[in-house]
Structure 1
Amino acid sequence: MSLGQQLAPHLPFLRRYGRALTGSQEHGDRYVRAALEAIVAAPDEFPRDVEPRLGLYRTFQVIWRTTNADDEVALSDDGSAAEGQEAVANARLARMTPLSRQALLLTAMEGFTPEDAGYLIDHDADEVEALVTEALAEIEKQTRARVLIIEDEPIIAMDIETIVRDLGHDVTGVAVTRDEAVASAMSERPGLVLADIQLADDSSGIDAVKDILAEFQVPVIFITAFPERLLTGERPEPTFLITKPFQRSTVKAAISQALFFDESTIPA
């Protein structure tokens, strides 16, 4: 099997990581593209002593670290939306270290062990765990929101609501259909939406989110058992995507990161 064939299954998830790290689909994809170009240009330098996924993320991390060290905006010309996101990120980064955010995403969202995450960011496992703790504490301190949950499975909805409240956020409502979700959002405007895709009456959480976003902008996290349906590269994709069955830590990380780029929660 060629190196390209080994890496292909992991690319959608590296793109997810890139988007979560930068807060922008286009910006994140640029880093992924740069990593792939580096691999194509020098295939002999690709790490062969680790599994392909780890080597792929390692290459991405080297590109990210080098670019941000040499030129903070070298790969950033996404336009006004991305510039706004970067302004929000910069305001938050003044209050926390980017390295701790990388440790959080790599472990809680991408599922790497502290040891593997340490390999990716050049720290040992204990340091990674300390960075994750630091990131969660700082982001949770910075971000407070009112959350709308769109989920038709009662047990899952209760679990998500508990996670949300444990993080210190309020829940504006739990909707099980598209119409309920839109009505709830219009009645009590949320600062974050957590949305399943398949809803109780066979309506779509994607359509519910589109209806809500047509009225006002709000960060959205999609929750689905079929993430590949939203990671096609053929249309605008969700920045934050959680795969079912999910870990509580994954939901916490996604909520923290979604709110990380939301300017309404930046402390004065």
Structure 2
Amino acid sequence: MSDARTDASLTDAIAAELPFLRRYARALTGSQETGDRYAAATLEAILADDEVFDRSATAKVALFKVFHGIWASSGAPVDSGPDAPDGPESQAQRRLSGLTPNTREALLLHSIENFRPDEIGDILGVGPGEAAELVTIAQTEMADGVTGRVMVIEDEAIIAMDISSIVSEMGHSVTGVATTRDEAVKLGRADPPDLILADIQLADKSSGIDAVNDLLSGANMPPVVFITAFPERLLTGERPEPAFLISKPYNEGQIRSAVSQAMFFASTETLTA
């Protein structure tokens, strides 16, 4: 059994990586509530037996390995049967049932959490080559799954152009770019999108969060991908959190993965300011 000093060190290491596990779990499940249940089960497993935490790996890899042991043991459940309730979540589950096993997990680990192929393999229990192949398969399967209309909320012109270009290359159409809360609400209501890609802080000090919540207050509930330079500030567990969150500076793979994931689920979690 570990001594008190080791236990404190383990606790600190886990605490530092927990916000990112929770981000990953929500993206994986498409739900803050479900994702947090898996994250909580991961912590409970470590508390029950800290030997499950692989100290030969980095803290983040070790934490995600424990998570995936639980995820795999639960069968990564998909409620896609004929008796499943209709709605965005059940639609997403039906789509999930058609994916190659482990591909979506590998894609998220790579694109959202920036794990290397060898780290993904360690987490999923496969070799680095197979891990890389799983990422490639997922990118193809999910990108081909759903296309739609995307609205961008971003006040920096170069970033807005870059995001719009990436989204267009994926086969989606861009309804427009809004730089303020008021512009976003006006554009979104005039030309409702299938997905919103929103920066958190806008140049006029308005909030992309407020703009999104204004739009989501209506009948339509498009999925949302939020972008922020400070993701840990939004991953506290103290309020509703977004299921899809990209850190700045981002890379093209993160945009592609998050957009595909959000379109795939066709649902979102709201975020209060």
TM-score by length of 2: 0.89
Structure 2 residues not aligned, in runs of 5+: 1-7, 80-84, 268-273
Equivalent residue runs for 1:103-252 within 5 Å: 103-215=106-218, 216-252=220-256
Structure 1 residues not aligned, in runs of 5+: 74-79, 264-268
Percent identity, aligned pairs only? 52
Equivalent residue runs for 1:49-64 within 5 Å: 49-64=56-71
Q: What secondary structure does 1:242 align onto?
A: strand
Residues 167-203 of structure 1, C-alpha deviation per residue, up to 9 Å, x if partnerless? 1000000000001000000111100000001112111
User: Runs ≥4 in structure 1, deviation > 2 angstroms?
Assistant: 83-86
Q: Write the distance in 2 (CA, Å) between the matches of 1:222 and 1:38.
A: 31
Q: Write the distance in 2 (CA, Å) between the matches of 1:51 and 1:35.
A: 16
Q: Write the distance in 2 (CA, Å) between the matches of 1:165 and 1:98.
A: 28
| Partners of 1:23 and 1:85 within 8 A in 2 | no
| Partner of residue 72, structure 2 | 65
Match of 1:24 among 31, 40, 44: 31
Q: What code does the residue aligned with 1:6 have?
A: A
Residues 199-245 of structure 1, C-alpha deviation per residue, up to 9 Å, x if partnerless? 12111111000100011211001101111221121110000000000
Shift of the 49–159 alpha-carbon distance from structure 1 to 2, 3 Å rule, reads same
Q: What code does the residue aligned with 1:51 have?
A: T
Equivalent residue pairs, number:
254
Q: What secondary structure does 1:142 align onto?
A: coil
Q: Write the distance in 2 (CA, Å) between the matches of 1:120 and 1:26.
A: 23
Residues 11-68 of structure 1, C-alpha deviation per residue, up to 9 Å, x if partnerless? 0110000000000000000000001000000012321111111100000000000012
Q: Write the distance in 1 (CA, Å) between the matches of 2:192 and 2:78.
A: 35
Q: Write the distance in 2 (CA, Å) between the matches of 1:84 and 1:44.
A: 41
Q: Write the distance in 2 (CA, Å) between the matches of 1:72 and 1:159.
A: 35
| Partner of residue 4, structure 2 | none
Shift of the 5–129 alpha-carbon distance from structure 1 to 2, 3 Å rule, reads same
Q: Write the distance in 1 (CA, Å) between the matches of 2:187 and 2:56.
A: 52
TM-score by length of 1: 0.91
Residue 85 of structure 1, CA deviation: 4.5
- 2:20 pairs with 1:10: no
| Partner of residue 271, structure 2 | none
Residue 72 of structure 1, CA deviation: 5.6
Q: CA RMSD in A?
A: 1.6
Match of 1:39 among 31, 46, 53: 46
Q: Write the distance in 1 (CA, Å) between the matches of 2:111 and 2:101.
A: 15
